[in-house]
A and B are shown apart, each in its own frame.
Chain A
Amino acid sequence: AQKITQTQPGMFVQEKEAVTLDCTYDTSDQSYGLFWYKQPSSGEMIFLIYQGSYDEQNATEGRYSLNFQKARKSANLVISASQLGDSAMYFCAMMANFGNEKLTFGTGTRLTIIP
């Protein structure tokens, strides 16, 4: 079974500052992927970034980077230079690469950017 834990229910960050959203995971699978999604108030889940379990380098996508520490089973999302439009719910998720194709999500972190 897979489990995602996001321990920060809510965060407030000043505009233009960097923010780290925590995510730890538990799985017995050897090959898996880790995902971060953003969900604004409109409800749509927007894909942000992906990290494969065998990727040696941390993933980056524009202002988003994933701090992947495999031994600690953590996959924190770092948003640099935060913007007002970053205010949303953020979900960490994982999927095994073979057999089980479902995404397992955490409970999310509500990020609010303060002007």
Chain B
Amino acid sequence: DTGVSQDPRHKITKRGQNVTFRCDPISEHNRLYWYRQTLGQGPEFLTYFQNEAQLEKSRLLSDRFSAERPKGSFSTLEIQRTEQGDSAMYLCASSVRTGTEAFFGQGTRLTVV
């Protein structure tokens, strides 16, 4: 059991640059979630996939954010034209069905300078 894997673990980027994060869920999990966590806060929901279909997006996910899960396996989260306010921990989680626990990866910590 390899768990949920996220890459990279840390990313420092200059304001205005684009960044892409990757998440590999647990293999038999068809549900995949992205959350954002800022310092001192709990994670906030960004978006959710069931297989390859993106079923829900938060209002937090502005036009600069896009997420994909092309083959229903791994997912990518891209942020275009990064801003300092995008600095946060980006967490990916997966679950096998609704009403069950979501398993989280170790997150990608983004710092925009």
Contacts and interface: CB of A to CB of B under 8 A. Distances in A.
B106 A47 contact: no
Interface residues of A, number: 26
B25 to A, nearest CB: 14
A25 interface: no
Contacts of B93: 45, 103
13 contacts: A43-B89, A43-B109, A46-B104, A50-B101, A52-B99, A97-B98, A101-B56, A102-B33, A102-B48, A102-B58, A103-B93, A104-B45, A107-B41
Interface of B: 31, 33, 35, 40-45, 48, 55-56, 58, 89, 91, 93, 98-107, 109
Interface of A: 4, 33, 35, 37, 42-47, 50, 52, 91, 93, 95, 97-98, 100-108
